[in-house]
């Protein structure tokens, strides 16, 4: 724990290199990663986490970029850090910057933040790199050691502890991983676009259900009304448990159109949660998911420690040869783990 003391104090004072180092430690599950998270946890709970998901090319990165600018300019009372200070955790004083600070996590193999060819036409992202108030991090999407959703959540924890007021997580909405990732956000935004065969019906049902706000980006194209109608039709079928009706916001992210409206929709949802006293409930529900995942990881690790590789192969062979039944075997191993 002691070895992390310097890292943590640098990170807390706004040192971006320390932030990067802490994130790498957590992302790579490098030695001491869990002690680092334990030490950082008391400093968390201040940041707002916004998850943005949608098909590749929908304009997520462009929108994140615009929202980042929006929040860097605005002193948005809904993101007040002191307001979020709970559990007696000290309010962070991270930078000398007056405005709200942003952390971006891109969990998207096609993301331009990762560099490469796509970055070429996105000169404006360069601006951000010179603004210490915006920190951008791409997650390795393959071979993620702790499970993608969990690792992303842990990286968000580091950003939160580093005093970032607003954390945006961009992810392509295709698989269960993505659903799990955006589920961890305080506000979940689903980005749809007109045409492209991107009919609302084809979107993974789980994602439709967890969207707090719908964005129809590329509204400069034909068919935005059609997408809106489809969303409204789906909404009329099922009311949400929390009574919130997700608004539909039309944007042209590439031109910065509709960004203020989106900011307002986010603020509306925030105040709705606050008014209905749903913030803590939502957060508890998120933690329930996370705890189950953390437990599963921890148990599995223990089970693996019990079984050397050779041992597992031997047992598997015994099951394959019907010399053992797998049900009893798993019960036996699980029993040893819990002890
Ligand atoms: N016509 C139009 N193009 C857009 C809009 N928003 C983004 N784009 C373009 O769509 C392409 C994909 O955007 P990007 O943000 O990388 O999408 P992502 O894969 O969802 O992150 C880029 O060339 C953007 O310039 C928009 O509102 N209208
Ligand atoms: Mg992207």
Q: What is the pLDDT of residues 95-137, one digit of tens each?
A: 334 578 999 998 865 544 444 333 333 444 555 567 888 898 8
For the chain, which residues make up each domain, given as ranges? 45-276, 307-338
* Other beta carbons less than 10 A from residue 128's beta carbon: 19
The finding on whether 189 has its CB within 6 A of some atom of ligand 1 is no
The more confidently predicted of residues 207 and 85 is: 207
What does 17-70 look like in DSSP terms, one character per residue?
A: HHHHHHHHHHHTT-TTHHHHHHHHGGG-S--EEEEEEESTTSSHHHHHHHHHHH
Least confidently predicted of 68-82, 250-264, 292-306, 310-324: 68-82
What pLDDT does residue 116 have?
A: 37
Q: How far apart are CA 214 and CA 229, in angstroms?
A: 12
In the reported structure, the alpha carbon of residue 54 is separated from the centroid of ligand 2 by a whole-number distance in angstroms of: 9
Estimate the crossing angle of helix 279-306 against helix 326-338, to 10 degrees: 110
The finding on whether 62 has its CB within 6 A of some atom of ligand 1 is yes
For residue 175, the 8-state DSSP code is S
What pLDDT does residue 84 have?
A: 42
The finding on whether 28 has its CB within 6 A of some atom of ligand 1 is no
Q: How far apart are CA 237 and CA 5, in angstroms?
A: 53
Least confidently predicted of 39-43, 93-97, 138-142, 316-320: 93-97
Give the CATH number of domain 45-276; options: 3.40.50.1100, 3.90.470.20, 1.20.1090.10, 3.40.50.300.
Answer: 3.40.50.300
Q: How far apart are CA 172 and CA 108, in angstroms?
A: 6
What pLDDT does residue 275 have?
A: 93
Nearest to 50 by CA among 37, 62, 36, 68: 68
For residue 198, the 8-state DSSP code is -
What mean pLDDT is reported for the chain?
82
Contacts 24+ apart (CB under 8 A), 320-325: none
Task: Please report, rounded to a whole number, the percentage of residues in the chain having pLDDT higher than 90.
Answer: 47
* Nearest atom, ligand 1, residue 58 CA: 20
Q: How far apart are CA 51 and CA 7, in angstroms?
A: 27
The finding on whether 110 has its CB within 6 A of some atom of ligand 1 is yes
What pLDDT does residue 123 have?
A: 41
In the reported structure, the alpha carbon of residue 41 is separated from the centroid of ligand 2 by a whole-number distance in angstroms of: 29
- Burial category of 210 from C-beta neighbours within 10 Å (exposed 0-12, middle 13-18, buried 19 and up): middle
In the reported structure, the alpha carbon of residue 194 is separated from the centroid of ligand 2 by a whole-number distance in angstroms of: 17
> How far is the first Cα of the chain from the last one, in angstroms, to the nearest whole number?
27
Is residue 164 within 8 Å of residue 137, measured between CB atoms?
no
The finding on whether 61 has its CB within 6 A of some atom of ligand 1 is yes
């Amino acid at each position: 724990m002691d070895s992390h003391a310097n890292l943590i104090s640098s990170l807390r004072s706004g040192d971006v290199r320390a932030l990067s180092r802490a994130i790498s430690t957590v992302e790579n599950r490098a030695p001491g990663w869990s002690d680092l998270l334990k030490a950082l946890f008391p400093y968390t709970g201040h940041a707002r986490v916004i998850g943005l998901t949608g098909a590749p090319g929908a304009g997520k990165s462009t929108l994140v970029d615009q929202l980042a600018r929006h929040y860097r300019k605005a002193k948005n009372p809904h993101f007040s850090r002191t307001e979020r200070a709970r559990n007696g955790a000290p309010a962070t004083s991270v930078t000398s910057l007056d405005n709200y600070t942003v952390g971006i996590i891109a969990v998207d193999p096609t993301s331009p933040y990762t560099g490469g060819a796509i970055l070429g036409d996105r000169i404006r992202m360069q601006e951000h790199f010179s603004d210490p108030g915006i920190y951008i991090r791409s997650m390795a999407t393959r071979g993620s050691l702790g499970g993608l959703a969990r690792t992303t959540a842990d990286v968000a924890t580091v950003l939160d502890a580093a005093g970032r007021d607003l954390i945006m997580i961009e992810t392509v909405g295709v698989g269960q991983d993505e659903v799990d990732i955006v589920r961890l956000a305080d506000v979940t935004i689903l980005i749809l676009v007109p045409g492209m065969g991107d009919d609302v019906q084809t979107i993974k049902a789980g994602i439709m259900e967890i969207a707090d706000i719908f964005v129809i980006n590329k509204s400069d194209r034909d068919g935005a009304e059609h997408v809106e109608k489809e969303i409204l039709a789906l909404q009329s079928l099922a009311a949400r448990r929390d009574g919130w009706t997700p608004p539909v916001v039309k944007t042209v992210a590439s031109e910065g159109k509709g960004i203020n409206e989106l900011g307002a929709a986010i603020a509306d949802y925030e105040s709705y949660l606050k008014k209905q006293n749903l913030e803590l409930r939502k957060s508890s529900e998120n933690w329930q998911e996370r705890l189950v995942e953390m437990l599963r990881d921890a148990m599995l690790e223990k089970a693996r420690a019990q079984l050397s590789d050779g041992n597992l192969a031997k047992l598997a062979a015994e099951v394959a040869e019907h010399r053992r039944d797998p049900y009893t075997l798993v019960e036996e191993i699980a029993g040893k783990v819990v002890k």
